[in-house]
Amino acid sequence: MADDQPNSGGVSGIHPGAVDAFHVAPTPASDRNTLRLQILPIACWRIEDLRFDFDSSFVRPEAAAEMADLASMHKAHAGAPISIFGHADPTGNDDYNKTLSGRRAKAIYALLVRDVDVWEKLYSNKFGGDDWGARSIQMMVRTLGFDPGVIDGKIGGRTKAAIKDYQASKGDLAMDGDAGPKTRKELFADYMDAICQDDGGQPFKLDAKDDFLAHASDPDLRGDVQGCSEFNPVLVFSKDEDQELSKPENKVERNAGNLPNRRVLVFFFPPGTKIKLGQWPCPAASDGPPKCKLAFWPNGDTRRSTGSERRVYGKTHDTMACRFYDRMARRSPCEVARTAIRLRLLDSENDFIANAPYLLTLGNGEVREGQADAQGWIVEQNVETPNQVTVEWGYPPEYGITDEERRKRWGRGGPFDYSLDVILRTDDSRTGEEKALDHINNLGYPPERSLAENLLRFQREYEVWPADGELSNDVKKALAMANDEGLSREEFIKKWSGQSS
C-alpha cells in the first residue's frame, strides 16, 4: 500500500513492491543466466499545473508547500537519485506541448539546483504563451516582501518602486526600478531560496551531479530532465466528451477537465542506480517529438486517443503511449488521477462573485482556503471521491459590504456569507432521480423540500419549460448542464435557449 500524501498542489508517495530477491532457473554448466534489472522508481513526487502560471513554466510562490514535501521525500530516501518528467495535456499539438512540458521540467530542475542561468533563458526566450515577463517580476518581489500593487503584468509606478526597494536592499544593484539582467540574477536566486525550503524553513537545494540520475553528465540534461509532451495522459476523454469540449465556447471546461494531465513528476530511483546515456530512451527536453515516439508502444497513438468511454490510467492502465514511462508509472501513487473539483461561487441571485474568498472542508476533515478568480471559479486538485465537501464563501473587500450589512441580510458577519454542501460522486450506477437530487442539492435548493417542489422552482428560475415539477429527460439534461458547467442563471438561460430554439 502506497503511503501517498496528497495536498492541493501535488502528491508524493512510495512505490509498492520493491524487489530485493530473485528466482533464477538452473542451467547446464556450459550456459549462463543473464539477469537484467529494469530501472524502476521507488518513490515519486508530483507538482500540479496550478503551481505554474497558466500556459507558462514560471513556478508560482504557492509551490513552496510542494517543495517542502519534496525535501521530506528526499530526506526519507537518502542517496536515491531523481529524474524529472514534465507532461502536458492533449490540447494543442505535440511539438508545442513537448517544448512547454520540457520548459516546466527545466524550471523545476533549476529551482532545485539554484541554476539562475536556466531561469534567465526561460525568461528571455519566451515560447508561445510562456512569457514570464513583468508578471513574474511582480510575483517574485511580492514574495520577497516588496509590494508591487496589483499583479497585472505591467511595470507601473508602484511596481517600479517595489523593484527599486528590492535593489536598495541588496546594496550592489543600481536603484533604477528596472529589473534588468543583473537585478534578475539576484532576484531569481532570492526567490528560489524563498519558495524552495524544507519543512523547517531552511533552503532546500540539490546537487546537480550527486542527486540526479544522470549526474549532469549531458549538457542537455538527458536522463535528468525530460519533456514528455502530451504522450502520457492520466485521463483521456471519451469521443463524445472530446467532441463537445472541443467547441470554442467550452474551452474553460476543457482546460479544467484536463488538469490532471498537466503535471511535473519526479521519480526517485534505488540508491546506486546508474544509467548509460546511450541506452536511455528519452531524448533531451529540448528535442522534438520524433525521438520520443521511438519508445512508444506499437499501439501508442491508440492508447492516448479517445474511445467510446472516458479512461483513467489508475483504473485502465492503457492511456500512456511511451512504454518506458508506462512501466515506471504503472505502480506509482503519483500517477493515479484524483479528482480536480471546479466550482463557481454564486450569490443569492445566481450571479458569480468575482474574487470571492472561500473555505473548503473536505469529507476527510481537510480544510483548504483561497480566493476565486475574476469569474467566480475555484479549482482544487487531488480530492478523493466519492466525497462531500462543504464550501463557504463571501464577498471580497472591494464589494464594500460591512459586517453590519451582513448581519442584517444574512444574520452573521463576514467573511463568509454563503455555505453549501456539495456532493461529489463517480458512481454512474445512480438512477436519474438520484442524480437529479444531487444536482438540485449542489445548485443550492433546500434539501428539506420535495424533489417536485425544487424541480418546479428550478424550472421557473432557469426558464426550463414547461414548469411542471416533472423530471423529464430535458430537465435531467438541464440540471446536469447547470451543475457540471457552473453556469450563472443568466449564462444558463442564454445557452439553454440557444440549444432549445
Poorest-confidence range of 53-62, 115-124, 252-261?
Answer: 252-261
What pLDDT, on the 0 to 100 scale, is given for residue 126?
Answer: 96
3-state secondary structure of 349: coil
pLDDT tens digits, one per residue of 284-294: 999 999 999 99
- Indicate the average pLDDT of the chain: 88
Poorest-confidence range of 100-104, 166-170, 379-383, 408-412?
Answer: 379-383
What pLDDT, on the 0 to 100 scale, is given for residue 368?
Answer: 84
Poorest-confidence range of 28-32, 86-90, 160-164, 184-188?
Answer: 28-32
* pTM of the predicted model as reported, rounded to 2 decimal places: 0.74
Q: Is the pLDDT of residue 25 over 80?
A: no
- Domains along the chain with CATH numbers: 5-20+35-114+205-335 (3.30.1330.60), 338-425 (2.60.40), 427-501 (no CATH)
Highest mean pLDDT among 112-121, 414-423, 426-435: 112-121
pLDDT, average across residues 223-228: 97
pLDDT, average across residues 433-460: 86
Please give the C-alpha separations between residue 263 and each of 49, 68, 80, 110, in angstroms, as whole numbers.
5, 17, 22, 17
pLDDT, average across residues 152-167: 97
Residue 200's pLDDT band (boundaries 50, 70, 90)? very high
Please give the C-alpha separations between residue 323 and each of 4, 5, 384, 442, in angstroms, as whole numbers.
24, 26, 28, 41
Residue 1's pLDDT band (boundaries 50, 70, 90)? very low
Q: Is the pLDDT of residue 178 over 80?
A: yes
3-state secondary structure of 425: coil
What pLDDT, on the 0 to 100 scale, is given for residue 460?
Answer: 92
Q: Which residues contact 85 (CB under 8 A, 6 or more apart)?
A: 105, 226, 228, 264, 265, 266, 267, 325
pLDDT, average across residues 68-91: 95
Residue 436's pLDDT band (boundaries 50, 70, 90)? confident
Per the listing, cell 488538469 goes with 259
Residue 204's pLDDT band (boundaries 50, 70, 90)? very high
Please give the C-alpha separations between residue 44 and each of 70, 281, 332, in angstroms, as whole numbers.
9, 20, 7
What pLDDT, on the 0 to 100 scale, is given for residue 27?
Answer: 52
Q: Is the pLDDT of residue 36 over 80?
A: no
Query: C-alpha cell of 46?
Result: 508530483
Dihedral over alpha carbons 246, 249, 253, 259 (to 10 degrees): 60
Residues in the chain: 501
Q: Is the pLDDT of residue 423 over 80?
A: no
pLDDT tens digits, one per residue of 84-112: 999 999 988 899 999 999 999 999 999 99
What are the E-state strand segments in 8-92? 10-14, 43-48, 82-87
What pLDDT, on the 0 to 100 scale, is given for residue 246?
Answer: 92
CA neighbor of 261 nearest in space, from 201, 337, 328, 325: 337
Residue 190's pLDDT band (boundaries 50, 70, 90)? very high
Q: Is the pLDDT of residue 482 over 90?
A: no
d(CA 263, CA 155): 30
Residue 20's pLDDT band (boundaries 50, 70, 90)? very low
CA neighbor of 5 nearest in space, from 363, 14, 297: 14
Q: At what angle do helices 116-124 and 94-113 cross, to 10 degrees?
A: 150
